[in-house]
Chain A
Amino acid sequence: MAIEIILSDFFQRALAGGLLIGITAPLIGIFLVLRRLSMIGDTLAHVTIAGVALGFLINLYPLGAGLVFAVLASFAIEKLRKAYKSYAELSIAIIMSGGVALASLFFTLGMGYNTDVMSYLFGSIYTLDTQDLYVVGAVTLVVVVVITLFFKEFFLLSFEEDAASVSGLPVRMMNMLITVLTALVISTAIKIVGALLVSALLTIPVAISLLIARSFKSSVILSVVISEIAVVGGLVIAGVWNLAPGATIVLLLIALLILTMAGKKGLST
């Protein structure tokens, strides 16, 4: 029975989508965490939901509409961040509440589709169709190519933005690039784990790797490996025991985090 589920088409599609998000989420997450922007994930996820809701309302491809909303919101965050320089979190809070307000407005305008929108709030990896998979695949390709191209520059930008600037690097363009990539990753990841949990996929693998890794390179590799373990493990557990996959993936990540912390403490005492 369990084997049948795992071999079924929908599960295979879920696995493929999950593995792709498992690469992109920590890959972009590491730059967000190190730059103290962990909360941006949550914000963009809420705004994406507003886009998805609008998509259902006016009959557009919901993931596409969500993606456009997330990118627009990421520009707005950058803009607000400049207006309130010493209050970086303020821009995130404003955009987040704006996103929730818009989403609930669209909800009430289109009462009939509540269950569909729910699937984006809590994730519905099993309903991933071929079109979704193509979108996730394209986003993964873009993220991996851009990060490979600018890996060393993004490292310096995260380590010391001033140094990047004095080296003559196009800092503003690179900041914008990271924000847009974040929007792309989040809007595609919400189909997998849901908007409410998307932050976990961006931050927890990175949090674990920061406990173990010495170098930047190893923390990037480690966070991707950890996230893939959680995605595959979480999906299999969810498939076998018929649980919500978003929840099992995130809880598995938290369990890994606790184990790592305990193991580190055990080693140091």
Chain B
Amino acid sequence: MFTPMIDDCHQPIIETENISFSYRDQKVINDLNFTVKERDFVGIIGSNGAGKTTLLRMIVGLLPSGQGSIRLFGQPIRRFKDWERVGYVPQKNSFNPLFPATVREVVLSGLYNNKNLFRRVNRHMQQQCDDALEVMRIQDIAGKRIGELSGGQQQRAFLARALINNPDLLILDEPTVGIDAETQAGFFELITHMHRHHHMTLLMVSHDMDMIEGYLGEKPKQKNGKIEFFVRHSHEIQDCEVQDLQHSLS
């Protein structure tokens, strides 16, 4: 039914095939087959211990995928090398708050990937860092220690770090935990803007049902165990020929 051109518009970004995960005897993820397509926004909802974070960690290769297989951008995860295409914002408590690092140092570290190994931090990288700081509107606190910031500012810093490579896939693990409601709303606004107006695919774990349902609809597209997947594409399938610029104008 579709022409090849339309197909191209919806490349699979993440594909999981029969992946399972157990904690001791408890199976949290059971034979999950799931595909995230280009420019999808996928919200993952589930109770504590449902395996949401586990799933994200499997997708970014931090946990083994067991018997099943995971492909990123069409490549098996073991052979995947283009990590600069993936922005990952882990849970808030994943770093030591007393660590002596400035916001600038943290944001810049988003560029420290396998491709930049043995490469010195050059002017171009500094410029990329400036841009990311500016987009997140945190350039005025760039010199502050990361631990001194409020939860919302820290989250902006980590998002800036994930965005510095201009990734095609952005993965967020409960990005709004421990942040006040107003800041949360602003943060979500920012993320949905990126989904609608930038060429970006998003995968987000959240506990905020209202937020997810408000943007992604009330019906989950798929369920696995206690995990529910809510999906919204940034445009209708028929609109595939519409160019990116027009996307951003709509």
Task: Evaluate contact between A165 and B105: CB separation under 8 angstroms.
Answer: no
User: Which of chain A's residues have a CB closer than 8 A to the CB of B94?
Assistant: 160, 162
In the complex, number of A-B residue pairs with CB atoms less than 8 Å apart: 84
Residue A111 at the B interface, CB < 8 A? no
List A contacts of B105 (CB < 8 A).
155, 215-217
B102 contacts A168, C-beta separation under 8 Å: no
A136 to chain B, nearest CB (A): 27
Contact of B90 with A160 in the complex, beta carbons under 8 Å: yes
Give A206-228 interface residues, CB cut-off 8 Å to B. Answer: 209-210, 213-219
**B62 and A219 within 8 A (CB):** no
Given contacts A152-B109, A168-B83, is CB(A162)–CB(B100) below 8 Å? Answer: no
A contact patch SS: helix
Complex-state Cα separation, A209 to B144, whole angstroms: 16
- CB contacts (< 8 Å) of B101 on chain A: these are 155, 159, 215-216
Alpha-carbon separation in the docked complex, A169 to B106 (Å): 16
Total count of chain A residues near the partner, CB < 8 A: 27
Enumerate B73-89 residues with CB–CB distance to A below 8 Å.
Answer: 81, 83-84, 86, 88
Given A155-B112, A215-B100, A215-B105: A167 touches B90 (CB 8 Å cut-off): no
**Knowing that A149-B118, A168-B83 are A-B contacts, what are 20 other residue pairs whose CB atoms are under 8 Å apart, sorted by A's residue number?**
A34-B99, A152-B116, A153-B117, A159-B95, A163-B109, A164-B112, A165-B60, A165-B62, A166-B83, A166-B86, A167-B84, A168-B114, A169-B113, A210-B100, A213-B100, A214-B100, A214-B144, A214-B145, A215-B105, A216-B100
Q: Which residues of A contact B185 (CB under 8 A)?
A: none
List the B residue with the shortest CB-CB distance to A148. Answer: B120
Asked if A57 is at the interface of the complex by the 8 Å CB criterion, the answer is no
Asked if B242 is at the interface (CB within 8 A of a chain A CB), the reply is no
In the complex, whether A244 has a CB less than 8 A from a CB of chain B is no
Residues of B within 8 A of A213 (CB): 100
**Bound-complex Cα distance A163 to B145 (A):** 19
A156 within 8 A of B: yes
Chain B: which residue is nearest A169 at the CB level?
A: B114
B interface residues, Cβ below 8 angstroms from A: 57, 60-62, 81, 83-84, 86, 88, 90, 94-96, 98-102, 104-106, 109-110, 112-118, 121, 143-145, 161
> In whole angstroms, what is the CA distance A241 to B32 when docked?
73
For B165, the closest partner residue in chain A by CB is A167
- In Å, the complex CA distance between A215 and B61 comes to 30
* CB-defined contacts of A210 to chain B, threshold 8 Å: 98, 100
By the criterion CB–CB under 8 Å, are B112 and A167 in contact? yes
Give min CB distance, A209 to chain B, whole Å.
8
Q: Measured between C-beta atoms, what is the minimum distance from B85 to chain A in Å?
A: 10
A156 to chain B, nearest CB (A): 5
A165: chain B residues within 8 A (beta carbon) = 60-62
Q: Give the residues in chain A near B61, CB-CB below 8 Å.
A: 165-166
Separation of A169 and B83 alpha carbons in the complex (Å): 9
Among all A-B residue pairs, the 9 with the closest Cβ atoms: A168-B114, A168-B83, A167-B113, A219-B100, A215-B102, A166-B88, A156-B109, A166-B60, A156-B112
Q: How far is the CB of A166 from chain B (nearest CB, A)?
A: 5
Is the CB–CB distance between A34 and B60 below 8 Å?
no
